[in-house]
Chain A
Amino acid sequence: MILKFKKIILACLAVAAFLISVFLPQTAAAHGERATEPSIRTRSIHWYDLTWSTEKIAVNDTVTMQGKFRLMNDWPDAVAQPSLVFLSTGGPSAVLTRVETYINGLPAQQSFKKMELGRDYDFKIVMKGRVPGNWHLHPVMNVHNAGPIIGPGAWVTVEGNMADFKAPIKTMQGLQIDDTENYGVARAQMWQAGYALVAVAWLLWWLRRPLLISRWRVLQKGREDLLVTRADDKVAAGVVVLLLVVVIVGYIKINAEFPQLVPLQGSTVYTEPLPEDTGGVAIKLKRAEYDVPGRSMRLSVEMTNNTDQPLGIGEFTTANLRFINKMLPTAVAAIDPKYPKELMPANGLVVDSNKPLAPGEKRMVMLDTTDVAWEVERLVSFLSNVDSRTGGLIFFYDPLGKRYISEVSGSILPVFKKTI
């Protein structure tokens, strides 16, 4: 009976161990995009016009992610300014490999310096499928001393077999390297195994003898001569000579084999921002509130149309969420049908009057963005932020479909009933 009980317990433990080993070490699907403080997500970098070339690729196929980003003028004081940045991707390590990255058409292998607030840049990232799976692909701007600021993500499915992955490269001397994942590893292991062989022989030379207690007692009795002998001296001298000869010869040979080498490249790059929009719409945020029970952000904004065309309010984008004014067909038509639906709240942007802003007109406009997305995306913790401010971009469209972008930012009040 007891034996049976023991067997049942052992079987349970085995099953538990199996389940834990299978299900516990899972790759993280999310990577902290909702963990960043709302003040950073609403007022630092706004990504827009993002496209992903495809939702599904095979191993070795590429997916291109491109778009633009605006560095907000009202950059949070608590966050280091983007004086040094590196464009990358968010996601679980090297499941997709990086083929090309560009900012304003310049290669972005290295970091970029002196980015300008209030200006726009475009970017392009080409990634290649390596590990089969369903991966969330974001653009990420790493800001020195501030950390990663993550952009909108879309799911990309990689199909196939990881063993088929290839990332070949040809050196400038013409050496073709097909397996870059393991290049040089066997050479390193061979040399290190050689060193380790000498080390193991050295350890065995000493460990084969009577060891701890006996040596300690002999040492206490002052008979050190028995512990380190003339034979040990000869072995030690032999080891020194052997290693020096091997290393010096190896060093000379490797330099002869690879005479042209280059150091790591660590320069930084500067690029002018994209040409600035002149005119457009001047914005003054008069009051902003977040209705906590209603899950609604409302902005009371004074807008002045400085263009010679009537402008409709098409979109409010903040923290990677796009609130679209569905009453403006131009704004709806501007949406890429493949854009991630979860980043476009269903209720969209509600404007108190959809009458276009006439050229030169100054008007108070109420923008209402009511959606559960504020909670889902964890954007309501600005109630506890060090600076309770919010911000975003407002997109305007003229009758010909030309777009104007204005920044909006200012203090925000948490309220529990509607006041504006």
Chain B
Amino acid sequence: MTVNDQAVLDVAEMSPKIAKWSRTLDALIVIVAAFLIMSVSHIGFLLLAGDWDFFIDWKDRQYWVVITPVVTIMMAAAFQSIFWKLFRLPIGATASVLLFLLSVWIVRYHSWEGLAYFPLSLVVPATCLVGAILLDAILVLTRSWLVTGAVGGVLFGLIFLPSNWVYIAPYFQPVENMGQMTSLADWIGYTYPRAGTPEYIRIIERGTLRTFQDSAMWVSAFFSGFICVFMYVAFWWLGSVACSIKYVPVGIKMKEAFGSNNAAKKVAA
């Protein structure tokens, strides 16, 4: 135990015995919270981003680059808010994205490859882990959620592309398929059929973010960073609300209805 840790326990007025029990409670809560964070982060992402990060042939230069970080930062910001406001622990974003990544790989192996016979190359996931660690680290450095949102939010969106491109890029090598040039990602998606996902259902490369010739990815990345700022603020606030205790004022009639306002009854009598 460091000097600082002892100082924390002293200020918290914890005897060694209480500190030991408190530590046991910490372990139990961390384990339970890990499952909670994992499932909430995963479900949130599935509902809002879904296909763009399921399949390699959905990872386009526009929507994948924008949508994946924008959706991921929601739960990251909410959990960061909860852990920071209650405990000054700058781990919410990292824990959210790390546990989400872990659960994604479990599902990829178990369900996609194991039960549905899809090859892993078709369902390689991306991750916002670098952005999440940066988000927590910037919160530590600035001690300000507002500055973290403004700087970290932009960085979260921006860093997603290069931090994933280091392993996604090889899937965009050109190959020839039936006399047409296509990307390896397209070829993998074509070769391993998904009965319920026709080609036209992909929403790729549509819209106006392509006006900078071949720089569409970085335009999308900057746009993603811009949107991430607002998402961060919104979900930081949501996390703050979630960890605040609020009481709803109850009127005399409501108390009477539940028989708990004896004083009111006496006054009425």
**Which positions in A face B, CB cutoff 8 Å?**
25, 31, 84-86, 88-100, 102, 107, 109-111, 130-131, 140, 142, 144, 148, 167, 169-173, 175, 177, 180-185, 187-188, 190-192, 195-196, 198-200, 202-203, 206-207, 209-219, 221, 223-224, 226-229, 231-233, 235-237, 239-240, 243-244, 247-248, 250-251, 253-255, 257-258, 260-266, 268
Contacts and interface: CB of A to CB of B under 8 A. Distances in A.
Given A94-B117, A142-B198, A192 B101 contact: yes
Contact of A107 (B90, B116, B178): B178
10 contacts: A91-B195, A92-B116, A94-B122, A171-B175, A191-B167, A202-B137, A216-B87, A236-B138, A263-B61, A263-B172
Given A144-B200, A195-B127, A210-B5, A107 B177 contact: yes
B12 A207 contact: no
Nearest to A173: B173
Interface in B88-143: 88-91, 94-95, 97-98, 101-102, 115-122, 124-125, 127, 129-130, 132-134, 136-138, 140-141, 143
A360 to B, nearest CB: 45
A97 B205 contact: no
Given A212-B26, A228-B140, A263-B205, A219 B88 contact: yes
- Interface-central residue, B5, B29, B61, B170, by most chain A CB under 10 Å: B170
A264 B129 contact: no
Given A94-B119, A217-B12, A251-B165, 4 more contacts: A182-B119, A206-B89, A212-B86, A233-B141
Nearest to B127: A192
Given A195-B130, A226-B8, A261 B57 contact: no
Interface in B144-201: 159, 162-163, 165-188, 190-196, 198-200
- Interface-central residue, A25, A110, A172, A206, by most chain B CB under 10 Å: A206
B8 to A, nearest CB: 5
Contacts of A232: 140
A71 B237 CA distance: 54
B11 interface: yes
A228 B143 contact: yes
B88 A224 contact: yes
A254 B89 CA distance: 35
B207 to A, nearest CB: 12
A93 B118 contact: yes
A111 B190 CA distance: 12
B141 A236 contact: yes
B60 A263 contact: yes
Contacts of B187: 169, 180
Nearest to B188: A180
B129 A172 contact: no
B181 A172 contact: yes
Q: Main SS of the interface on chain A?
A: mixed
Contact of B137 (A187, A218, A239, A248): A239
B43 to A, nearest CB: 21
Q: Main SS of the interface on chain B?
A: helix
Interface residues of B, number: 97
B87 A228 contact: no
Interface stretch (B17-25, B67-75, B224-232, B258-266): B17-25
Interface in B35-84: 57-61
Nearest to A229: B4
A250 B166 contact: yes
A29 B191 CA distance: 21
A202 B5 CA distance: 17
Contacts of A223: 11
B252 interface: no
A243 B26 contact: no
Contact of A182 (B88, B95, B101, B121): B121
B108 to A, nearest CB: 9
Given A219-B88, A247-B166, A184 B124 contact: yes
A3 B12 CA distance: 49
B57 A211 contact: no
A216 B89 CA distance: 10
Interface in B1-33: 2, 4-5, 7-9, 11-14, 19, 22-23, 25-26, 29-30
B202 interface: yes
A235 B192 CA distance: 45
Contacts of B143: 228
Given A173-B174, A210-B5, A240-B134, A218 B166 contact: no
B12 A210 contact: yes
Given A181-B119, A210-B12, A254-B166, A172 B132 contact: no
A106 to B, nearest CB: 9
B204 interface: yes
A265 B134 contact: no
Contact of B23 (A192, A203, A210): A210
- Interface-central residue, B115, B117, B171, B194, by most chain A CB under 10 Å: B117
A142 B117 contact: no
Contacts of A215: 8, 12, 87-89
Contact of A203 (B26, B95, B120, B170): B95
Nearest to B206: A266
Contact of A209 (B5, B134, B183, B204): B5
Contact of B173 (A102, A228, A229, A258): A258
Contact of A261 (B58, B169, B179, B186): B169
A243 B134 contact: yes
Contacts of A130: 117
A180 B191 contact: yes
Contacts of B61: 263-264
Contact of B169 (A94, A144, A211, A258): A258
Given A93-B116, A140-B195, A196 B134 contact: no
B8 A209 contact: yes
Contacts of A218: 8, 11-12
